[in-house]
Amino acid sequence: MDFQPNARCQAYLTKLKQFMQQHVYPLEQQVTEENHRLNHHGNWQDWKVPSPIPSLKQKARQAGLWNLFLPDDKLGQGLTCLEYAPLAEEMGRVLFAPEIFNCNAPDTGNMEVLYHFGNEQQKQAWLTPLLNGEIRSVFAMTEPDVASSDATNMQATIVEKGDNLVLNGTKWWTTGLGHPGAKVAIFMGLSNPENEKHARHAMVLVPLDSKGLEIKRMLTASQDYDAPYGHGEMQLTDVVVPKANLIMGMGKGFAIAQGRLGPGRIHHCMRAIGAAERCLELMIKRGFAREAFGKPIIKLGGNQERVAKARIAIDQARLLTLNAAWKIDTYGVKQAMTEISAIKVVVPNVLQEVSDMAIQLHGGAGVSADFPLAAFHAAARVLRLADGPDEVHMGMVSRLELAKYQKGIQ
Amino acid sequence: MDFQPNARCQAYLTKLKQFMQQHVYPLEQQVTEENHRLNHHGNWQDWKVPSPIPSLKQKARQAGLWNLFLPDDKLGQGLTCLEYAPLAEEMGRVLFAPEIFNCNAPDTGNMEVLYHFGNEQQKQAWLTPLLNGEIRSVFAMTEPDVASSDATNMQATIVEKGDNLVLNGTKWWTTGLGHPGAKVAIFMGLSNPENEKHARHAMVLVPLDSKGLEIKRMLTASQDYDAPYGHGEMQLTDVVVPKANLIMGMGKGFAIAQGRLGPGRIHHCMRAIGAAERCLELMIKRGFAREAFGKPIIKLGGNQERVAKARIAIDQARLLTLNAAWKIDTYGVKQAMTEISAIKVVVPNVLQEVSDMAIQLHGGAGVSADFPLAAFHAAARVLRLADGPDEVHMGMVSRLELAKYQKGIQ
Amino acid sequence: MDFQPNARCQAYLTKLKQFMQQHVYPLEQQVTEENHRLNHHGNWQDWKVPSPIPSLKQKARQAGLWNLFLPDDKLGQGLTCLEYAPLAEEMGRVLFAPEIFNCNAPDTGNMEVLYHFGNEQQKQAWLTPLLNGEIRSVFAMTEPDVASSDATNMQATIVEKGDNLVLNGTKWWTTGLGHPGAKVAIFMGLSNPENEKHARHAMVLVPLDSKGLEIKRMLTASQDYDAPYGHGEMQLTDVVVPKANLIMGMGKGFAIAQGRLGPGRIHHCMRAIGAAERCLELMIKRGFAREAFGKPIIKLGGNQERVAKARIAIDQARLLTLNAAWKIDTYGVKQAMTEISAIKVVVPNVLQEVSDMAIQLHGGAGVSADFPLAAFHAAARVLRLADGPDEVHMGMVSRLELAKYQKGIQ
Amino acid sequence: MDFQPNARCQAYLTKLKQFMQQHVYPLEQQVTEENHRLNHHGNWQDWKVPSPIPSLKQKARQAGLWNLFLPDDKLGQGLTCLEYAPLAEEMGRVLFAPEIFNCNAPDTGNMEVLYHFGNEQQKQAWLTPLLNGEIRSVFAMTEPDVASSDATNMQATIVEKGDNLVLNGTKWWTTGLGHPGAKVAIFMGLSNPENEKHARHAMVLVPLDSKGLEIKRMLTASQDYDAPYGHGEMQLTDVVVPKANLIMGMGKGFAIAQGRLGPGRIHHCMRAIGAAERCLELMIKRGFAREAFGKPIIKLGGNQERVAKARIAIDQARLLTLNAAWKIDTYGVKQAMTEISAIKVVVPNVLQEVSDMAIQLHGGAGVSADFPLAAFHAAARVLRLADGPDEVHMGMVSRLELAKYQKGIQ
């Protein structure tokens, strides 16, 4: 056992931290304010990317801090899941940072799908521009009319018709759908209703300008549109795409999803850990800067215990996530199901708690947009539902735990 | 001891519930959507009151469901704090309902201040139109540059100059400041820096169109502007008002605040309990309406325990609040400090937890604006800071508890 | 609504508190130590009642503080459940106090069964000496071989044979079985296996010296025997009792149990609230008496917040319990099922938490026998299982809550 | 980073698990019952070591599973703290197992003190027989009259008188003092009151048969004596020992304590993790073995979520502890203060919660002595005070966290 990040990881981390210090933090407030000014409304057609973002992306790419998530040493930097994890944490400290490094969800997950399961034509058409950060993509899975916590409930349909596939259904919580650069969806639907539960669905690439695809609205998530990304609801009515847009094959949707979600959860969780560290930092700084009842507020009542609890909760969450990343790298996603579900329960809750404490210590400023705390708190709340609610992941951990004994019993 | 609401309370409650069923719930979604369409942006100067509100107010007034909070049987309905409490709960079930009955904060608190401490001229000028629901008012206390959890930190100044008072300072979290009908602020500032800590401040009535009063911006509270009310930041630069606008006298600010905040906290808490009941209702209905893994989701995993926990937490919170109301009515605010602080800690936390559970069970819909859950969750979060953060109220409860022993020890 | 105890309750409470001050607290340490010296071992046959108890009982009886739990104004003091509740709280402050007033479990519950459901002969034989405090009794329901949380699992049998009943089976957690004065058991067993689930069992009076009744051992409960009461395991092998010992009738066991458990849970909970108040008192006193890092420890870190949390939790628990008592008195046990189950979940947990805090603040002394804290903590732990585990009561609350909606749905 | 235990650790772990399976578990119930029968009373002078223990110790030594804790490859097995940690976890699964491998507290800590800080004569006299498991030792630090959470409060005195040291004072919570084999105490007292706070105390070796040393009583810890070890109170009245018994030097007590406590906390915590794993195992097995309401109870209500929460909490606790062990090995105790205090807070609480859940699922059996759950629950409770209460360790974590910012601020 060794808890030291390896040299490669350490080198990237140093470089990334410098980049954040030099280029990202100094613009954080400006980008946030510009984004609020331009985009804090529901007319997503008018949303614009805040002006500093494109040049920040270019700088990051030039610095070699680009596509760090992709475990390919030509297309990405060839980092393992465990090597990438601390980098994702660092990016998570600023809400808009992941995009700067072309490491933002859901594009990362979509790129991984195309990288692992796409054919050459699909890669050329979509993976290349995504890796270049030229376009953006969405993942259309969740549906408004069923409990999506049980993904096998999915009702949207994919039907073969000659050389084409015909798609119908309504999707929502399609993250990124409002982004000006969004061009393509990976759409998941029922392709083989006759198969067993986990072989009934397929994934298909659908250009967002397809005929019959209508974006109905953007949804607020905890009262905010998350512009310029947005969480959209879209309806597909007899949308026709060529069979060449099918990924892997009919009925392969869950097989792909499984592979996609493992590393994606590590990324989500490490970013959330970075966010939690940021909240703790802000909390302590504010706690020293303000006085009440004759003392810096960090010294009042239970505030010091809260600092300790936050420190400990974050450290535990990080170790659990790094261990999960290591397990994915070493034994594969299927052997790491307990670990992956465990972090998906723990980490968003830690962020929710730590951001809640930090808000509380900031007083009114904490719930305002003058600090990123309210946004982190909301992000945590949403993340407890995204990629499966806490309860589904607790169910998975429990089922695997009980299975150890059931074998013995039979 | 008797846990039955008395006949008068019961009669009003029946009438109010009927009104809610007949007039409010049927319009809830429409008002919410219209409000979102008109007002979900930061340009508060353009905010408009959703169209159904004025006629709903008229209907409520005609029905005798008007100014229920005011313990005066001519100007209000003469209800005690304990009699009004279950009515406030009922109103709390719909976010915009309190205004319909002219029972919304901060107007209720401001009307109480004018009713108890205003002189005749002040009452005529401001209390009458407020009681008629013709204008709206704000309460300007919190300041951005100091820890307002210690209210004695307040820095804005009130200086006598001839027959006038000259006001300077910056206030924020001035709730209602963005409302089209807002006309007057009760402004609190340092009037007598030479006095002991709780006799240094005064309250002054300031028309919002006063020269030198500038509204700088509205703040988002947990990512939303709470339009058309808004939480504003305003700057007063040499604002001059006649001495006749002074309430009670120089240095009387905390004496007034004490009286104002007792019943106000009962109101806040009872509304929050109503909101929590609503969340629980929505949670159970959704839980029966959706299936996952072959069962209604309310029957899955720990969901039934969560229903029980919510039921129990709400019932405890309600009893604690009713007991506090009874204590205020029976012994006065000063004898009920433990009880008032206790509910201010407990109830918003119960709403935060119950709305959190309800969101979780709704999945993505829970954090969207299709249900009032995300708004209730945010309201709870903000309420844990408004009128004193949890920590200040725990400090009060603890101090009073320890005082019982310290007397003995000395 | 009125939160003031009535005059009768208040008068008894004043008298009881005086008695406690005058007679019980001064002997608390002596009784505890004598009990430890005599009885801290597993040889229950040698257990003795600590010497001050009999005279304390006599004094209490002379003072009219006797059988306060019994709602009969000849046999008891004619107090309602709500009037008795604050008295039970007071008794709960000292571990051995309830017996002094002839108000200790399980005798109170057994006396209630005999009072409500016993025939004249049964009353004369057993109720009279119990009301006189001359003998003690046990309640034999829980069984070692089945999950007793589902009481219908009960396997012990009651079979008619001529004019007699023949009893077989093993019972454990038969509280009081080790007491030198224990003479009779109310034994519950399967009498009518052919009936529907809640009409299969009966209750029978069994003298503890019956042939075939063997006391196997006393069980430690959280590491202590609770001597001189004890929690026993006993085996009945073809025990024969006359049919006259049957209470109410064959198959009536659950009907009796239902009536028995409602007030019994109020009593348990109120005593636990008294214990929690005592823990809070001890915690504050210790917190002022000891210093660390230059301050009384009550002022350190989060200790003041813990005082507030304890104060609030106890006040909520008390109100919930008083409300349940009122509901039993006003509408009957069947209409108060939610309330009764709610307190059974809340109150033991509050005692467990408050005693845990108090222990922590006492340091090593807290887990020792020098203070009653470790015993209260253990009592809380056991009470979370006795009379149905938390989970069963949460299930009840949930089921009743969901039922409100299911009716609507059908 | 690498989360795989190394080969050496793995080899010992395999061997140890085999030994536990072959020799310890089969005797667990017998040893427990014999210990209960012989020793469940306060007359510690009569306590006896359960009969299977000596031969188990001999077997363990023959198997090379002896003194595993000691990082010396001649006297122990030369394992690092990180290599030993999983072995300590394994031993923690059975309450009496650590002694079998000569790895039980407080002997391990005392042997470490002698190993690192003792001179040759001290080692020969005491370390050798301790390493041989021939005698046992105690550590006398905590005092009844002061808040020992602030160790500098310690009042017992060590005064030089010619070639001797004269010791006075009262100690309690001297663990192991009741054991038939206990021969020597490491006694800590005030030697240099004129020095700065952490240089005032010294440690001295005191034979338990010294004149003037009186064992007053054994204390129950959460209602049990922990026989045949015991937690004793002893009084030293003018006890004279030669100066050769002084460890390191006058005023060196805290310097020694610091070194002693780091690895000791790893050991405590890893054993607690083993205990928590055992509780989870027992909980699941019981949950499958018993039925209620027509289902195995593990499938009822929130029980599956509780399994998941326990699994996750234990995994987090283990990773945090292993990381702390690694940090001690790699950077030394002084660089690992945050980590050491963090585990001391987290792990006993995890054991308390998991054992609490397991008890709850066992029903009455859970609080009885038929399962080790009640003992583990009590051990966790005590461990939250031993070696510094939670609050002191949270204070340490907080102080170190704030220090990062205070440097920046100055």
Q: Read off the DSSP letter of residue A5.
A: P
Write the residue in B305, B397, B406 that is nearest to C398 by C-beta: B305
Cβ pair B192, B165 in contact under 8 A: no
Residue C296, preceding bond cis, omega within 30 degrees? no
Contacts of A361 in chain C (CB under 8 A): none
* Residue A339 with chain D: CB contacts under 8 Å: 315
In chain D, which residue's Cα lies nearest the Cα of C171?
D364
Alpha-carbon gap, residue D114 to D167, rounded angstroms: 20
Q: Which residues make Cβ contacts (< 8 Å) with residue D295, sequence separation at least 6?
A: none
Interface residue A331 vs chain D (CB under 8 A)? no
On the question of a cis peptide bond just before residue A52, with omega within 30 degrees of 0, the verdict is no
Per-residue 3-state assignment (H helix, E strand, C coil) for B123-156: HHHHHHHHHCCCCEEEEECCCCCCCCCCHHHCCC
Query: Do B316 and C319 count as a contact with CB atoms less than 8 A apart?
Result: yes
With a cut of 80, say whether residue D260 has pLDDT above it: no
Across D310-320, average pLDDT: 98
CA distance A394 to chain B (A): 9
CA-based nearest residue to A47, from A177, A216, A209, A140: A177
Which chain B residue is nearest to residue C396, measuring alpha carbons? B308
pLDDT per residue as tens digits for the range A188-237:
999 999 999 999 999 999 999 999 999 999 999 999 999 999 999 999 99
Please report, as a single letter, which amino acid is at residue A344. K
Asked if the Cβ–Cβ distance from A40 to B41 is below 8 Å, we say: yes
Q: A410: pLDDT confidence band, cut at 50, 70 and 90?
A: very low
Give the model confidence (pLDDT) of A290-343 as tens digits.
Answer: 999 999 999 999 999 999 999 999 999 999 999 999 999 999 999 999 999 999
Residues of chain B with C-beta less than 8 angstroms from the C-beta of C307: 397-398, 401-402
pLDDT at D410 over 50: no
Instruction: Look at residue C230 in the predicted model and tell me its pLDDT.
Output: 97
Q: Return d(Cα C139, Cα C397) in angstroms, integer.
A: 26
Provide the terminal-to-terminal Cα distance of chain A, rounded to the nearest Å. 35
Give the Cα separation of A91 and A98 in Å (integer).
5
- Mutation target to probe the C interface, by most C beta carbons within 10 A, among D35, D36, D149, D387 is D149
Q: Rounded to a whole number, what is the distance in Å from the CA of D287 to chain B's nearest CA?
A: 15
CB contact B114 to C (< 8 Å) = no
- What's the token pair of residue D135? 């005698």
Cα–Cα nearest to B169, from B143, B193, B199, B138 = B143
Q: Which CATH architecture has domain B136-251?
A: Beta Barrel (2.40)
Inspect the interface and report whether the beta carbons of B364 and A385 lie closer than 8 Å: yes
CA D97 to chain centre: 12
Interstrand relation of B182-190 and B136-140 (parallel, antiparallel or unpaired): parallel
pLDDT tens, position by position, B151-174: 899 999 999 999 999 999 999 999
Neighbours of B276 (CB within 10 A): 30
Longest dimension (CA), chain D: 78
Q: Which residue has the higher pLDDT, A107 or A151?
A: A107
Q: Considering only the beta carbons, identify the residue of D36, D363, D395 that sits closest to C385.
A: D363
Residue D408 has pLDDT above 70, yes or no: no
Query: What is the structure's pLDDT at B410?
Result: 40
Q: Taking the CA atoms of chain A, what radius of gyration do you get in angstroms?
A: 21
Q: Is the pLDDT of residue D52 over 50?
A: yes
Percent of chain D with pLDDT over 70: 99
Does residue D185 come out as left (phi exceeding 0), alpha (psi in the -120 to 50 range) or beta? Answer: beta
Residues C247 and C118 sit within 8 Å (Cβ to Cβ): yes
Residues C12-31 have a mean pLDDT of: 98
Contact residues on chain C for B3, CB-CB shorter than 8 A? 1, 322-323, 326-327
Question: CB-based burial of residue A334 (10 Å sphere; 0-12 exposed, 13-18 middle, 19+ buried)?
Answer: exposed
Using the predicted structure, report yes or no on whether residue C355 has a pLDDT greater than 90. Answer: yes
Please answer yes or no on whether B149 and A363 come within 8 Å at the CB atom.
Answer: yes
Rounded to an integer, what distance in angstroms lies between the CA atom of residue C133 and that of residue D230? 38
CA-based radius of gyration for chain D: 21
CB contact under 8 A, C308 and B395: yes
CB-nearest to C1 from B317, B322, B342 is B322
CATH class of segment(s) A136-249: mainly beta
Q: How is residue A102 written in tokens?
A: 């072309």
Tens digits of per-residue pLDDT, C316-336?
A: 999 999 999 999 999 999 999
Q: What is the pLDDT of residues B373-389, one digit of tens each?
A: 999 999 999 999 999 99
- Alpha carbons D96 and A142: distance in angstroms, whole number: 53
User: For residue B164, what pLDDT is reported?
Assistant: 98
Does the structure show a pLDDT above 70 at D409?
no
Question: Does residue C381 belong to the interface with chain D, where contact is any CB pair within 8 Å?
Answer: yes
Write down the pLDDT at residue B259. 76
- Percent of chain D residues topping a pLDDT of 90: 96
Contacts of D331 by beta carbon, 8 Å cutoff, 6+ apart = none
Name the architecture of domain D137-250: Beta Barrel (2.40)
Region A390-403: mean pLDDT is 97
Instruction: Please count the helices (runs of H) and the strands (runs of E) in chain B.
Output: 14, 10
- Tell me whether residues B391 and C338 touch, CB distance under 8 A: no
Are A257 and A200 spatial neighbours (Cβ–Cβ below 8 Å)? no
Nearest to B204 by CA among B175, B238, B260, B243: B243
pLDDT at position B407, please? 64
Partners of residue D304 in chain A, C-beta under 8 Å: 394-395, 398-399, 402
Task: For residue D405, give the nearest of A284, A327, A399 by CB distance.
Answer: A284
Contacts with D305 from chain B: Cβ below 8 Å:
301-302
Give residues 304 to 323 of B whose Cβ lies within 8 Å of D: 304-305
Q: What is the 3-state secondary structure (H, E, C) of A184-205?
A: EEEEEEECCCCCCHHHCEEEEE
Q: Which residue of D has its CA nearest to B309?
A: D302
For residue A389, which residues of chain B lie inside 8 Å, CB to CB? Answer: 360, 363
Q: Do B323 and C319 touch (CB under 8 A)?
A: yes
Minimal C-alpha gap between D309 and chain B (Å): 12
Q: What's the fold here for domain C254-409? A: Butyryl-CoA Dehydrogenase, subunit A; domain 3 (1.20.140)
A285 and D405 within 8 Å at the Cβ level: the answer is: yes
CB contact under 8 A, D304 and A395: yes
H/E stretch holding A157 reads strand A157-161
Superfamily of domain D7-131: Acyl-CoA dehydrogenase/oxidase, N-terminal domain (1.10.540.10)
Tens digits of residue pLDDT in A353-382: 999 999 999 999 999 999 999 999 999 999
Chain C, 18 to 47: residues with Cβ < 8 Å from chain D are 36-37, 40-42
Give chains near D: 3+ CB pairs under 8 A.
A, B, C
Alpha-carbon span A275 to B309, nearest angstrom? 30
Which residue of C12, C284, C312, C406 is the best one to mutate when testing the B interface, meaning the one whose CB has the most B CBs within 10 A? C312
Which A residues 273-302 touch D at CB under 8 Å? Answer: 280, 284-285, 288, 298
- Closest approach of chain C CAs to the CA of B197, in angstroms? 23
Within 10 Å of residue D309's Cβ, how many Cβ atoms?
Answer: 20
- pLDDT, tens digit, 9 for 90 and up, residues D106-160: 999 999 999 999 999 999 999 999 999 999 999 999 999 999 889 889 999 999 9
| Distance in angstroms (rounded) separating the CA atoms of residues B157 and B193 | 9
For the cut 60, the answer to whether the pLDDT of residue B283 exceeds it is: yes
Residue A238 in this model has a pLDDT that exceeds 80: yes
By CB neighbour count within 10 A (0-12 exposed, 13-18 middle, 19+ buried), where does D161 fall? exposed
- Tally of CA atoms within 13 A in the half-sphere of D118 that contains its CB: 21
Q: Would you kindly state where each structural domain of chain C is located, as residue ranges?
A: 7-131, 137-251, 254-409
pLDDT at C113 exceeding the cut of 80: yes
The CA distance from C342 to D128, in Å, is 59
Provide, as residue numbers in chain C, all residues whose Cβ is less than 8 Å from the Cβ of B315.
Answer: 320, 323, 339, 342
How far is the CA of B64 from the CAs of B51, B57, B67, B73, in angstroms?
22, 11, 9, 12
Q: If contacts are CB pairs under 8 Å, which of residues 335-364 in chain A contact chain D?
A: 338-339, 342, 345-346
Distance CA D111, CA D109 (A): 5
Distance from C290 to chain D by nearest Cα, in Å?
A: 6
Interface contact B305-D302, CB threshold 8 A: yes
Q: Which of B100, B249, B96, B101 is nearest to B165 (CA)?
A: B249
Give CATH for domain C137-251.
Answer: 2.40.110.10
CA distances from residue B342 to B311, B348, B377, C355, D133 in whole angstroms, order as listed? 19, 11, 20, 20, 56
Share of chain A above pLDDT 70, in %: 99
Query: Does the pLDDT at position C106 exceed 50?
Result: yes
